Amino acid sequence: MAKETFVEQIADIEQDFPQWYTDVVLKTKLVDYGPVKGTMVIRPYGYAIWENIQKELDKRFKAQGVENAYFPLLIPMSFFTKEAEHVEGFAPEVAVVTVAGGEKLAEPLAIRPTSETIIGTMFSKWVQSYRELPMKVNQWCNVMRWEKTTRPFLRTSEFLWQEGHTVHSTAEEAEEATMTMLGVYKEFAENCLAIPVITGKKTEKEKFAGAVATYGMEAMMHDGKSLQAGTSHYLGTNFSEAFDIRFLDSDGTHKTAFTSSWGVSTRLIGAIIMTHGDERGLVLPPVVAPVQCVIVPIAARKGGVVEACESLKAELEKAGLRVAFDNSDNSPGWKFNEWEMKGVPVRIELGPRDIEAGKMLCARRDTLEKGEYPLENAVESVKALLDEVQKNMLEKARKHRDSHIVYADSMKGILDGVEGGNFVKAGWCGCRACEEKIKEETAATARVYAEGETAEKCAVCGEKSKHVIIYARAY
């Protein structure tokens, strides 16, 4: 019999955060590297998180009147030339098909980096009258962007996402839809992923190619860097004019429609990992965790233990919880380490003494605290414990973020701030050159405007400040 080994060590989260991240995503079997450079294979445990994200978001989208659809993966290259800013923004990342069926194509086909062009083309066919507006569709799909530097979930050549697209008769309605979806994302991030986010408008330099305005959702990771966790774009009439999305209005005249688009991707899984993870591995929020609680038998060979564990599992599953029963021949200590690394929110230990006493021992993954609970109220106790874990994870992440937001009134202040693992709020004159200088000298970028805040001067040039910007180094 082979000698028993415990879970292999992962890198120190404080000393080598990038290696810690790589170790965790591979050793917890969330993902593996694909055979094509820059691609990833999402394994069942990782995909289960994505399925739970889909489920939670999908019901929120449908509550806003959004319908799911699907659009082609291949897009004629000529479509991209219709919106100049859009094609310029995506040109370096586009993968192109030139041969199919053994023959050279008359027109090259782009593998979608995003779908504004193909969806705009279809909207131009579908939208005829004001009576059909607003039109709201979403697709769950894959996209391809030929990235130079990749990291699983955070930035890969191919990834999964959802992209919502809406058409409206007025600018006000399209702008309202843009902000509504940003709010949906924020509520979802905080209540489902337990990730506190800062939402706000992007600068012209950082906005989506082809948008009138882009609004971002920024999350602080463990190392103080920002992750853009989602975006919502007000597109105005830019794509409507390019693709002739027009409608007959109630006054009998033809008018150009206004559109929006919005999306989040599998990088949300990376956000969960880097926001909540610790030296033991993953810490998953209960709402999206593939396994919400795991039952580990103690002295499993003794009569009645396995049966009691199976009965408890059935009871919890009947109540709608996602439960695992680890009846493998590994030791309890190995199992504790394994399931802790996989981030399961609650671990239940059940042995002969517990059964005799009518109790179960529950360990929380977020705090590692243990407590005894009566078996007769197992469902209520576990559900309450999961709710506590969910709330505590959000509060812990919020405290971490808020304690790492600093103010600066100089370039040195911005540099010192981001070097210390912080988000930095600083005045900005609105000049593109000052924004670019900050990126060149500090490797920080403007994440979003800090709405409602003021500063006396620009931290770069010293001129009067027009805005306060949140700067951070970002993934």
Residue 449 shares a structural domain with residue 463: yes
Domain boundary among 400, 434, 458: 400
Q: Residue 350 sits in a domain of what CATH number? A: 3.40.50.800
Q: What is the pLDDT of residue 91?
A: 76
pLDDT tens, position by position, 384-434: 999 999 999 999 999 999 999 999 999 999 999 999 999 999 999 999 999
Residue 256 shares a structural domain with residue 374: no
CB pairs under 8 A, 24+ apart, for 100-109?
Answer: 107/76, 107/77, 107/78, 108/77, 109/74, 109/75, 109/76, 109/77
The answer to whether the Cα torsion of 281, 286, 290, 295 is positive or negative is positive
Question: Residue 365 pLDDT > 50, yes or no?
Answer: yes
Which domain, by its residues, includes 237? 17-276
Residue 157 shares a structural domain with residue 40: yes
Asked if residue 443 belongs to a domain, the reply is yes
Residue 202 shares a structural domain with residue 338: no
pLDDT tens, position by position, 266-275: 999 999 999 9
Average pLDDT over residues 69-79: 95
Q: Chain-centre distance of CA 338, in angstroms? A: 25
Residue 114 shares a structural domain with residue 224: yes
pLDDT tens, position by position, 240-255: 999 999 999 999 999 9
Q: Average pLDDT over the chain, rounded to whole?
A: 95
Residue 116 shares a structural domain with residue 133: yes
Q: What is the pLDDT of residue 7?
A: 52
Q: What is the pLDDT of residue 26?
A: 97
**Rounded Cα gap, residues 253 and 247, in angstroms:** 8
Residue 148 shares a structural domain with residue 271: yes
Average pLDDT over residues 31-51: 97
Residue 267 shares a structural domain with residue 356: no
Residue 262 shares a structural domain with residue 117: yes
Question: Residue 329 pLDDT > 70, yes or no?
Answer: yes
155-to-188, 266, 283, 341, 472 alpha-carbon distances in Å: 22, 9, 21, 23, 18
The model's confidence at residue 80, banded by pLDDT at 50, 70 and 90, is: confident
The model's confidence at residue 92, banded by pLDDT at 50, 70 and 90, is: confident
- Total domains, the chain: 3
Residue 394 shares a structural domain with residue 432: no
Q: What is the pLDDT of residue 268?
A: 98
Domain boundary among 400, 418, 453: 400
Domain boundary among 384, 400, 416: 400
pLDDT tens, position by position, 2-40: 444 445 689 999 999 999 999 999 999 999 999 999 999
Residue 47 shares a structural domain with residue 73: yes
**Rounded Cα gap, residues 337 and 67, in angstroms:** 43
Asked if residue 95 belongs to a domain, the reply is yes
pTM of the predicted model, to two decimals? Answer: 0.95
Q: Residue 463 sits in a domain of what CATH number? A: 3.30.110.30
Which neighbouring-strand residues pair with 32?
41
Q: Residue 235 sits in a domain of what CATH number? A: 3.30.930.10
Asked if residue 12 belongs to a domain, the reply is no
